[in-house]
Structure 1
């Protein structure tokens, strides 16, 4: 079943974003920007073809329930994992791979790789035209370019979380040896440094486990086998490769594989800086694996400082490594290809992991039907909990990735910092943090890095203490003030040391979080506005400084400034992130080659937060092995506590912390849980307009059975439905708090006689005084069974309910439509009509890239309408629109091929856009398809003809519909665009042709 594009000329206009002035001209091939974001039809690179992941609508093994003649279902039962070793599974796998070959062959391509367990997809080299053909082919769900994705980078987090100690969670689970025992955590990352003390364990042998130790892994030929707490069996292997022998796996790291076909194809050997094996060259994967499930009580001493002991969150769990991210010589070559990541997910599900940690993301929010997200849907449907990092692009709004409902989206919080301070020679003292100042250091001479600039360096390089930017003659024996930014923080202290400096003050140029990195010289990290005072003093004659290991403790946990924020733009009725967990200055194992020889280091990022949640899921599944991922997720989300602001107050910023900060001590006793299954998630996708081919009825995102409640657009009154399942029987009473709205829970009392019983309730929200266009935050709490089951609520009221787009024809005409206000006043403004200049072009089937036309859109534009029409009435062309962001093409929308195609966007982001025109077939007897393109930009000025509405200032009653008539006149021939605007920026596009 083909997935129709989210917004096409057949479905009407899209609402995406806005801008102003227009220039149109062909883009030369040499000016092709970098690959777009998913989903898209533009291949990466600048050659004639690119690598794509083609996902088919038929279900993979993990969720297949039957339907193919002679092949029974392979979907595992509740609490079980998929078994890929049965004859039936092998037959279905062959059925899927045969389909892959057939579909690829239909456009003259062939699969480079096939996935069939968590993802029914194949990888192929395709031209843009081939990709478009597949998009409109029956049975194809999506066609997405193979993108390069990136890792998302109490002082002891396990102590802060209450895991350790006599009354801690580990003790309640039978001690660290049993905390997570019988569970396998799969880590999709940069690999592992197997020699680390965090992974030391007995060697694997061929001796089968005994009844006294049933979960001990063992070798079976070249495979590693482990019988698990859920009754299933994990079967992996220790894949050999560069500097990685099979003997490096043990009873902790029981399996290690690598997936690099896509990356190795893309990155030539001279640009690689990694091992072609599961070995970690960077350190990120080693850090996340040891955080999630590293050994107990591993002693750590680095840079001469004793940091005590560290322990993974689930020290009793086993680790399976899936290396799919790679180290190149620069940022453009470092990361993981989508195709490799999907292959890793597919294998992890086939092997039988229980938990997947995914500390990876893209530069923009992935669509819910992205191949990676779909693979995770099938993994979750097969009983695997997925913890994914939210991203490190905060504190700006709507900067997250991994926002689908079947994964846990994790934001990063602080733990107790290492307090430190900077004392200047004039007596001024500024507080900060440090992990490298164990005793008072100084007084020492102080110099600003710009004042110590090397002759070959510029001011920016010196300010940021970039490699080679400091003059040893000026730096020797001094403490240097370096600004944060541009390069990794530890590289700055390495430059200070190279130049003979003895210490560093790392200063934030603007208000940001503080990080306790391990530096090459004693370092204190301070924040703005203290930075300027330190720089001013450093410029005075005889400036001196003392670095001190003392200072006030900052309130914690706070959500880190870098932690990506909501709301989600792809999932407007879903509150994301889901939860916050420790992710700032987390001490864990690393790979020495990527850490200047260190075995342990402090890393910060949502990458560090996600494995905390993955480890806690392993703790949960060891105790409740038959629980679904959604139940585990619900238990964590409904037992959280609020994070704090910089002043120590409790925060209600749900777009930063989600449901709140994870609380392991309470999560094991959630009282009630919100469960969900594959059917719920497929219905959710259908509700977003994704054709899954499943036959499942669509549901609105607000009605997904989720532990939080989100309504992206509330107009008047809205009722949402939820179901809860009892973990602890009893009588539960509901309380709801939603300022500015009247909220009612029905029934408000639920009685559960036994565990496992499920009951349904509704929450009705009616707009009262809450302002339109502004998210209103509240909560619903069920009290009972000795617990409080809390769900955050976020609702965004809207001022008016009106059509998104209207169509008309002719030089003059009118159209009437219904508008329902939610406010007492409804002034209506009109803009346009507007028509941009027409630019001719030609395209043929051999133009594998098509023809590209840039469009510059400036701030203040109400609407942009991109249009293209083939000159011949029988010819068909397709239109694709991208936005250029930091030199990269980010997909916005596309149309199915037709003679006359157009796409409209209200309130677009300003900047450079690109129109791309392709054709799938030349008309008989022709070698070119002529066409004309234009972009109509509606602003507050200009236009031709006249557009009016009546009434312009109607008398309204909130909630009562009224009829509005739009009239246009004196509009010249050709497509023209206008905009009808209501309060708070809402509006209706009008397109006249």
Structure 2
């Protein structure tokens, strides 16, 4: 796994010096070691090409930070039975029996190993993990981190970062609708359960024995902000709680959930029931990071935020619960698996800043405990931004959970529509995007009869009023820009009173805008998007309709050209043009993911996540008493899938998490676009929107095992320490197919198992590709597994661009098994680097071409290396900074130590100025190299010394290269140019150099027309 040094600056021993010129960090100021004088600058340095400075002296080894340490030895959930006298630890139902003597013995073994490791560096573990992760959290110094990373058997040392619930960024807690009563006619357009085909005759619930049996005996764990235990959606019968607070619940699969009901402010053992079978809290990491909680936070499983109650009741709330908000009825609400039991794991807490955060260490502890307790499904509506690290500690804990048979649904994030913004890239997790479903709409009717439909929670009419743009009624002295977006205190009550005010959407919460209109005495509000995005039905302070960008532009133009324009609101959509559903929510994060080179397709599926009315914490509502609220976000989509997984476990308790994920994806249906036409968006919704009526009988399923996942990690560049071999990530046996680096052609192998026997015929297509399936017809008996191959050959697909299509197996009774396919044609697959020596020479370079004809070669170089000399002590880290200019073709950073210093281990890391790791080289010796291609910006180079010869200071040299088109020292050529190539075939050219100073190291590059690929040429 990637090993990361501390990201925060350590304390300095001596003042640092920065030299700056023309906006670049210029010159060379080596660090000063205690008691040592700074060496003279290297006369070979080229500061114009190598703008290096070192603002941080050698780090103080006592500087501390919070970390999660993971060990390579398997945790209990993944233990393979390889140790003498300790068999596999799986229970008869596939989980981990933590009460078994063998499991207890194994966990004690892991705890002893952790204790010895911690003692060896003088650390004190804070939280200990043995089930889903083998490791601990601790406050560590820079020196301790360095020593741990150098210790055999340590998998990773990761910063204990904060994550957050993934509700829509502009969807805060509910507001108070004014002038409404229970008879206002909010309307009940149906629940997501209705639209997903769960209810009614022939619905999924009826096939499972009715709502009272749908999910019965399945335990859904909600890792979130807690729960409001008196909520009618989680009412249950008394549950015996032992004197020590432990609970037991018999599961449908024959296993037993053994949890705990923790007491605390606002929560007693009586709050657990046959519905809420367990409640635990995890806050040690949060308290270490924040020092405490906000004044209104409950130090117990009770929910002060509302998010946890919303996600829990969405997944497993009781059916047919009447919902009201501010005395207005919104019909009945229901959870997806209404008979499932809930286990609450409060991991997110509110700090004095008012923000809700969830520390990595607490999340890992909760996953560890949930697996030990025996949950069946985990809902994780929490995120940390775009997925970049396949070895993230939480994702690795989820791998162990899935290994123990626990299905994990995770939110994709709310950073859409930005590309490559999806969180949770792991193929053992089902990553969920958000779609629209239940439409809560209202219509704005202008005086001339023009109608605009938008999102609106309440469905009552509003009589005609004058309609004005917010900037027209701004307070004297208020900025026009702030008034346009209805910021607090910007509207003039004398001019806004009694009118409908048009507010532009911005970063300010949506309900805060209607609150400003209400403060100014406005009668209503129209919220308009200024750029494409979702529209959300919120609980506003005045009647409000939220319009999309296109409708908003038309309305603003119409109001602007009509003196004393009027408008009224009508209930529902009265335009005569139904709004198509399901569409992808604008906020929902998109792929492709950067992890594994794009060879995993995420999100997996979409589920309803816009304007979801579900349970809430009354103390988080603005009335202080509402038990329900509308919320939007992928946080709301994930529990829909968690609930569906619980339903599947009711019908098929023996299905693995991978099979459940396969069934969800292969039975999904297409999104629709704004025009109502089917829309395939593999990077927005993966396979499409969940379609539960087909979920229980998918026909064919794709399964994978924990060993497969470990091999996937190895192929993604993560050394797991398990000894399993690597596979190309695109070869993992999953329903989707994705490959980000296809040069000409590629063949993928998959295996399917029949849940319904019969003949299945394949049909595959991807625009710009010739896709063939072999064999194209499969005959399987129920339970039988067969293998097939999918060969993709590029025809006219655009190079360096993604193409999306599908593979469909069709069986009897119109049974279809659909898999999304995403391929990116790579123009060239060439070596990243070649190395030579001498003032002149040549080297052969062999590449593979993605198209036929001829390939133009482009050379750049040479740039000399700037050798920066210094010394470092064992356990220390030294930080250098560099600015890579905008015209840089490539940069290289090389680290070497005194050859006489045998036993020295130095490591090299490259971070952005914001602290993001972009490259590392951490072998067990002192020769390291990191290359950077076409990425201008400010960077920090960290030289780390896990071990030095005899523990004594060691001399090292950091050589930096920055190659720009202006660099022209010596001569670099490539021949033949152009290079004859054929699609999918290999071709060889000679790269030659001359006129170089052999005492110096040099960097050049060969580029390829139509491709971002680059081959760096190092000489010296």
Q: Same fold by TM-score, threshold 0.5 exceeded?
A: yes
Match of 2:309 in 1: 286
Matched residue of 1:180: which SS? coil
Asked whether 1:746 is paired with 2:760, we answer no
Give a deviation string over 1:253-305, Cα, whole Å, max 9, x none. Answer: 11111101000111133756522111111111111110000011011122443
Asked whether 1:893 is paired with 2:920, we answer yes
TM-score normalised by length of structure 1: 0.90
Match of 2:245 in 1: 222
Asked whether 1:675 is paired with 2:698, we answer no
RCO higher in 1 or 2 (8 Å CA, sep ≥ 6)? 1
Q: Alpha-carbon deviation of 1:229?
A: 1.0
Contact 1:672 1:728 in 2 (8 A): yes
- Change beyond 3 A, Cα 1:926–1:249: closer
Asked whether 1:514 is paired with 2:571, we answer no
Asked whether 1:483 is paired with 2:504, we answer yes
Match of 2:16 in 1: none
1:777 corresponds, among 797, 804, 818, to 804
- Change beyond 3 A, Cα 1:141–1:495: same
Asked whether 1:158 is paired with 2:193, we answer yes
- Change beyond 3 A, Cα 1:922–1:378: closer
Instruction: State which drifts further: 641-650 or 152-161.
Output: 152-161
Matched residue of 2:806: which SS? strand
- Change beyond 3 A, Cα 1:240–1:464: farther
Asked whether 1:581 is paired with 2:607, we answer yes
Contact 1:27 1:854 in 2 (8 A): no
Match of 2:443 in 1: 421
Q: Alpha-carbon deviation of 1:341?
A: 0.2
2:717 corresponds, among 656, 667, 689, to 689
- Hey, what's the Cα distance between the residues in 2 that align with 1:559 and 1:696? 39
Aligned residue runs from structure 1 range 908-927, under 5 A: 908=935, 910-920=936-946
Contact 1:855 1:915 in 2 (8 A): no
1:99 corresponds, among 92, 113, 118, to 113
TM-score normalised by length of structure 2: 0.87
Q: Alpha-carbon deviation of 1:469?
A: 4.1
Contact 1:945 1:968 in 2 (8 A): yes
- Hey, what's the Cα distance between the residues in 2 that align with 1:4 and 1:590? 40
- Change beyond 3 A, Cα 1:942–1:27: closer
Aligned residue runs from structure 1 range 719-738, under 5 A: 719-738=747-766
Q: Alpha-carbon deviation of 1:136?
A: 2.8
1:299 corresponds, among 322, 339, 355, to 322
Match of 1:241 in 2: 264
Match of 1:663 in 2: 691
- Hey, what's the Cα distance between the residues in 2 that align with 1:846 and 1:381? 36
Contact 1:843 1:929 in 2 (8 A): yes
- Hey, what's the Cα distance between the residues in 1 that align with 2:30 and 2:543? 52
- Hey, what's the Cα distance between the residues in 2 that align with 1:449 and 1:515? 20
Match of 1:48 in 2: 63
1:85 corresponds, among 75, 90, 99, to 99
- Change beyond 3 A, Cα 1:412–1:46: farther
Q: Alpha-carbon deviation of 1:957?
A: 2.8
Q: Alpha-carbon deviation of 1:112?
A: 1.2
Q: Alpha-carbon deviation of 1:862?
A: 3.1
Contact 1:734 1:748 in 2 (8 A): yes
Aligned pair count reads 943
Match of 2:141 in 1: 127
- Change beyond 3 A, Cα 1:724–1:536: closer
User: What's the RMSD between the two structures over aligned residues?
Assistant: 2.9
Contact 1:26 1:852 in 2 (8 A): no
Instruction: State which drifts further: 440-449 or 189-198.
Output: 440-449
Give a deviation string over 1:615-646, Cα, whole Å, max 9, x none. Answer: 00000001111111111111111111111111
Asked whether 1:325 is paired with 2:348, we answer yes
Instruction: State which drifts further: 566-575 or 711-720.
Output: 711-720
Aligned residue runs from structure 1 range 561-600, under 5 A: 561-571=586-596, 572-596=598-622, 597=624, 598-600=626-628
- Hey, what's the Cα distance between the residues in 2 that align with 1:45 and 1:281? 40
Match of 2:518 in 1: 497
Give a deviation string over 1:93-115, Cα, whole Å, max 9, x none. Answer: 11101111111222221211110
1:352 corresponds, among 374, 381, 392, to 374
Match of 1:114 in 2: 128
Give a deviation string over 1:535-556, Cα, whole Å, max 9, x none. Answer: 4566676454323324343211
Contact 1:5 1:894 in 2 (8 A): no
Contact 2:293 2:351 in 1 (8 A): no
Match of 1:23 in 2: 25
- Hey, what's the Cα distance between the residues in 2 that align with 1:914 and 1:473? 55
Asked whether 1:66 is paired with 2:88, we answer no
Asked whether 1:767 is paired with 2:794, we answer yes
- Hey, what's the Cα distance between the residues in 2 that align with 1:514 and 1:268? 38
Match of 1:198 in 2: 233
Contact 1:113 1:122 in 2 (8 A): yes
- Hey, what's the Cα distance between the residues in 1 that align with 2:795 and 2:920? 36
Match of 2:653 in 1: 625
Q: Alpha-carbon deviation of 1:131?
A: 2.0
Contact 2:873 2:952 in 1 (8 A): no
2:581 corresponds, among 556, 574, 581, to 556
Q: Alpha-carbon deviation of 1:838?
A: 5.9
Matched residue of 1:373: which SS? helix
Match of 1:813 in 2: 841
- Hey, what's the Cα distance between the residues in 1 that align with 2:30 and 2:570? 58
Asked whether 1:401 is paired with 2:419, we answer no
- Hey, what's the Cα distance between the residues in 1 that align with 2:961 and 2:620? 49
- Change beyond 3 A, Cα 1:773–1:846: closer
- Change beyond 3 A, Cα 1:845–1:492: farther
Match of 1:362 in 2: 384
Aligned residue runs from structure 1 range 933-944, under 5 A: 934-936=960-962, 938-944=963-969
Q: Which runs of 5+ in 1 are unaligned?
A: 7-19, 30-43, 207-217
Contact 1:897 1:919 in 2 (8 A): no
